[in-house]
Amino acid sequence: MQYKDNTAASAGNGVRTALAPLALIISLFFFWGAAASLNDILIKQFKKAFELSDLQAGLVQSAFYLGYFLFAMPAAVFMRRYSYKAAVVLGLLLFAAGAFLFYPAAAIHTYGVFLLALFVIASGLAFLETSANSLVIVLGPAEGAARRLNLAQAFNPLGAMTGVMIGSHFIFSGVEYGAQDLAAMTPTARVAYFATESAAVQMPYLAIGTVVLLWVALVAWTKFPTTRDEGGGHKAGTGAQLKELLRNRNFVFAVVAQLFYVGAQVGVWSYLIRYFQDVVPGTPEKTAAGFLTLSLALFMCGRFAGAALLRKVSPAYLLAAFALIDLLLCIVAIALPGWIGLYALVGVSIFMSIMFPTIFVLGLSGMDDDHRKLGSSMLVMAIVGGALLPALMGAVSDAAGIHWSIAVPAIGFIVILAFALRARRVLR
């Protein structure tokens, strides 16, 4: 990636100028990590507030990741027409709009409006992820892209942990009534309880929306470097580029692997609290949320450790090894529901850590900047796996038990293992 030299500034000034946009880009990884992890809290919260089945509660993730799927391609077209910066500003505005929608959704106590709000948030995050992931890849030598993106993505689990802490402290009330308790309540008391649990999300999401608007102002005020692509010149049509990308078998397999990875990651975290409370009956929701926070902390540690390992180990080889380990841990969680299965499920997060950025880099390997933008959007579209696999896990859980639902992410890790082994042969 090359930048236009639009000023007579010295090299030192150029470095100082680039630091501000780089910091803002990295902060985006924190933001969408927090937004995504709050969904894990919302699944449990809405299950209480609306008396939902596991399948119905899983629609939280379906609405969220459907937004990614539908808006990732428009985000790429928007970036090609305007710039990375414009895509970031629009993404943040949509993010804030979705967060503010939580207030009226809670006021009217309507689950469908909450799902709409999550869809709007995700549409904004599609713009952010498509632009930020692609930009980090081109901010240095190609051979260091996987390591660089893993380091940037390390801020994602930090945001995720923050989201879980916000949710567990400011959304979870700690009041949990069973079916018998609810049946014994008067209709008025029951309605009041549901309304209170629904309203618990209002203030946290108002605060989130306000912070995101402040970030819009910071991004708009900051000068971003301009790529040659953004500065003009001939560009192939989107349709022609799409055909080229679809003929690239390694890229297509990367999209499939990314779909299964995101579905596995979202599914494991979404149902971890449910798994804990099911296999260890009587566990309070806040205690269970603590294990989700632990998972996210291990995920972040895995990112840093993975970035270090990538200095000596090829990305495809490390991805294959981690996918195999996660497959084995899922088998343990299925076969031994209880404390052993719980710790195995928590351990999955360590080895999921490098998967998203490594699949991303392996899939875009060898592409020029313009093709990378469109390819990046398709890899972000694959995040729709977060809408599909958790819903499937909910259906399996309702039919056979929560521990059997872990078979769904296990299948995902098999697909990732197959992609890694193929990429190792093709890209070496």
CATH number at residue 98: 1.20.1250.20
Mean of all residue pLDDT scores within the chain: 85
Asked if the model's pLDDT at residue 5 lies above 90, the reply is no
Look at residue 153 and tell me if it is in a domain.
yes
Asked if the model's pLDDT at residue 1 lies above 70, the reply is no
Asked if the model's pLDDT at residue 135 lies above 80, the reply is no
Asked if the model's pLDDT at residue 143 lies above 80, the reply is no
Calculate mean pLDDT across residues 254-264. 95
Could you tell me which residue, 410 or 142, shows the higher pLDDT?
410
Percent of the chain clearing pLDDT 90 (strictly above): 43
Q: How confident is the model at residue 227 (pLDDT cuts 50, 70, 90)?
A: low
Look at residue 189 and tell me if it is in a domain.
yes
Calculate mean pLDDT across residues 31-51. 89
Residue 236 has what pLDDT? 58
Asked if the model's pLDDT at residue 80 lies above 90, the reply is no
Residue 136 has what pLDDT? 73
Look at residue 12 and tell me if it is in a domain.
no
Residue 428 has what pLDDT? 63
Residue 281 has what pLDDT? 85
Look at residue 6 and tell me if it is in a domain.
no
Lowest mean pLDDT: which of 135-144, 201-210, 278-287, 368-377? 135-144
Residue 13 has what pLDDT? 39
Task: Show the domain range for 142.
Answer: 20-227+236-427
Look up residue 234 and give its amino acid.
H
Calculate mean pLDDT across residues 121-132. 92
Q: How confident is the model at residue 225 (pLDDT cuts 50, 70, 90)?
A: low
Look at residue 127 and tell me if it is in a domain.
yes
pLDDT tens sequence across 180-193: 888 888 989 989 99
Q: How confident is the model at residue 74 (pLDDT cuts 50, 70, 90)?
A: very high
Asked if the model's pLDDT at residue 14 lies above 60, the reply is no
Q: How confident is the model at residue 212 (pLDDT cuts 50, 70, 90)?
A: very high
Residue 147 has what pLDDT? 75
Asked if the model's pLDDT at residue 335 lies above 60, the reply is yes
Calculate mean pLDDT across residues 7-34. 63
Look at residue 286 and tell me if it is in a domain.
yes
Asked if the model's pLDDT at residue 254 lies above 90, the reply is yes
Q: How confident is the model at residue 273 (pLDDT cuts 50, 70, 90)?
A: confident
Look at residue 247 and tell me if it is in a domain.
yes
Look at residue 182 and tell me if it is in a domain.
yes
Say how many domains are in the chain.
1
Residue 263 has what pLDDT? 93
| pTM of the predicted model as reported, rounded to 2 decimal places | 0.75
Calculate mean pLDDT across residues 115-126. 96
